[in-house]
Amino acid sequence: MGEVKLFDTTLRDGTQGEKISLLVQDKLRITELLDDMGIHYIEGGWPGSNPKDEEYFLQVKKLNLKQAKITAFGSTRRAKLKPEDDPNIQALVESEVPAIAIFGKTWDLHVTDALKIDLEKNLEIIFDSVRYLKNYTDELFYDAEHTFDGYKGNSEYALKTIQAAVEGGADVIVLCDTNGGTITWELERIIEEIKQKFPGVPLGIHAHNDSGLAVANTLASVRHGITQVQGTFNGYGERCANADLTSVIPNLKLKMGIDCISDENLKKITFVSKKIDEIFNLPHNSRLPYVGDSAFAHKGGVHVSAVLRNPQCYEHVNPELVGNKRRALISDLSGISNIIYKAKEMGIEIDKDTVAGKKTLEEIKRLENQGFYFETADASFELMLLRNKGEVRDYFELLSYRVIDERKKEDMAGIEATVMVRVGEEIEHTASVGNGPVNALDCALRKALLKFYPSLEKLKLLNYKVRILLGERGTASTIRVLITSGDGKDTWETVGVATDIIDASRQALIDAAVYKLMKDDGLVSLSRK
């Protein structure tokens, strides 16, 4: 297996997926990220299809790119127009990019039923379009749309369409599994037969994931001599999307020994994956191979114990190679190894014989049985461990609280919380209003404590999640509350569980405040970083 070039189509095919819409500035930012990571070709869009893509190709010229070649995408000429008279063809020329990719019809079904032209006319269209555009760009890629379905339906005609593109001067013929339904062994057979027909012609692969095989088919294609692989970051794209480059690239590099990207750039792939999701304004899929938060997360006690001895026991690669990190999860499935590993991450030294560690493990199993959830609530876990070590300071004691939800028809904002706290020998009794019972309690608690701890002014509730546990009990169900807090510098998550949503919130809010105070005193992991 020789050299393989990476062709990213996140900005074109990826944006055809549901719930995705990018501004020109978004596309430019992603372009910079992909270029910095070492992607060879970036397909920026279809300049003849919309004003946004036209603007992108104007603005992208202003970027100081390191190596990526910006590629414009379009179609072959219309049946009744010459290339020089076709607006879409001319838009590709006017984009003035170093590479152009155009697609044409390979499947006779599409020629007769979609284009409604005769088969010979389609061959002329392909040849004319490729030959004309080749004069205006450094590299011309021909995407043979529906290569595999077309080949299975009429192999003789499918080969003629590829022949027309080759004779027109295409630099790479990209074989497209457009419907995403080709099984891997079918794909391998067809690639070999096409190679026999066109020896020495560079081939690429563009696989969709409708059968869940896009990554597998892409890797199999490389084994059969494909030299350009196309895909999108995080597997975005139309329908079930495209081959996911966050899986394709590490597999090529780490499993197949193909140096398609440098070691240093491979370490950026997790960051780029998450950053693209952030720009898309979509949640990152934690279960993505290699780059997901769960990719190297260990929950079972037996697993964590083994990973502590040798990570290879339950990890197929070192997470640092792809810029990810190993994580031990805390739950009722944990063993003492989970506690030791997590404590070490937080800079807390314990061993398997430590009383605090054993007590924490027992407490976690008991509390998770009640509905607590410590996988993400790291702050609550850390406080529990430090309490069991006797290292949590007695900052304050909540003596009592009350929330009054009094609503009048003309004034629906009558929610008031009253709290009484003890700090040392002093008792503070105060009240506050809020736009909801939890907000009112949060405001009242911090108001009472600000006199003693002014730094709590920076404490903000950033996210609030509620889950009903054992919903069959109706309004008597247990409630779990997860709160994300921050102080402008760091964020942390705490948890509370009760049959009363306000009481569950109270637990999480107190942990959040105590964690902030411990952080200010340099006693928790966030303050040790």
pLDDT value for 355: 82
pLDDT tens figures, 485-525: 999 999 999 999 998 899 999 999 999 999 999 999 999 98
Asked whether 313 and 306 are in contact (CB, 8 A), the reply is yes
- Longest CA–CA span in the chain (Å) reads 94
User: Is the alpha carbon torsion for 160, 161, 166, 171 positive or negative?
Assistant: negative
Query: Residue 165: which of 151, 155, 175, 178 has the closest Cα?
Result: 175
pLDDT tens, position by position, 171-228: 999 999 999 999 999 999 999 999 999 999 999 999 999 999 999 999 999 999 999 9
pLDDT of residue 261 exceeding 70: yes
Using pLDDT thresholds of 50, 70 and 90, give the confidence band for residue 344: confident
Q: So what's the pLDDT on residue 411?
A: 57
pLDDT surpassing 80 at residue 437: yes
Q: How far apart are CA 21 and CA 26, in angstroms?
A: 9
Locus of tokens 């990973």: 307
DSSP 105-147: E-SHHHIIIII---HHHHHHHHHHHHHHHHTTSSEEEEEEETH
- Does residue 81 have a pLDDT over 90? yes
Domains located in the chain, CATH noted: 5-280 (3.20.20.70), 297-370 (4.10.430.20), 396-452 (3.30.160)
Query: What pLDDT sits at residue 273?
Result: 96
**What three-state secondary structure class fits 189?**
helix
Query: How far apart are alpha carbons 146 and 507 in whole angstroms?
Result: 58
Q: Above 90 in pLDDT, residue 374?
A: no
pLDDT of residue 436: 85
What is the per-residue pLDDT across 98-137, written as a single tens digit (0 to 9) for each? 999 999 999 999 899 988 999 999 999 999 999 999 999 9
Residues 6+ apart with CB under 8 A from 376: 482, 493
Among the residue ranges 84-93, 124-133, 410-419, the one predicted with the least confidence is: 410-419
Please list the residues that pair with 6 across neighbouring strands.
229
Q: What pTM value is reported for the model?
A: 0.75
pLDDT at 371 over 80: no
Residues 6 or more apart whose Cβ sits within 8 Å of residue 477: 468, 469, 470, 471, 499
Return the pLDDT at 367.
80
pLDDT at 365: 80
Q: Tally Cβ neighbours within 10 Å of residue 202.
A: 16
pLDDT band at 164 (very low <50, low <70, confident <90, very high): very high
- In angstroms, the CA 241 to CA 239 distance is 5
Written as six digits, the tokens of 180 are 């995403």
Question: Residue 109: which residues within 8 A CB-CB, separation 6 or more?
Answer: 149, 150, 153
112 close to 153: Cβ distance less than 8 angstroms: no
Work out whether strand 228-231 and strand 426-434 pair parallel, antiparallel, or are unpaired: unpaired
What confidence tens digit (pLDDT) does each residue in 451-468 have? 999 999 999 999 999 988
Assess contact for 334 and 361: CB atoms under 8 A.
Answer: yes
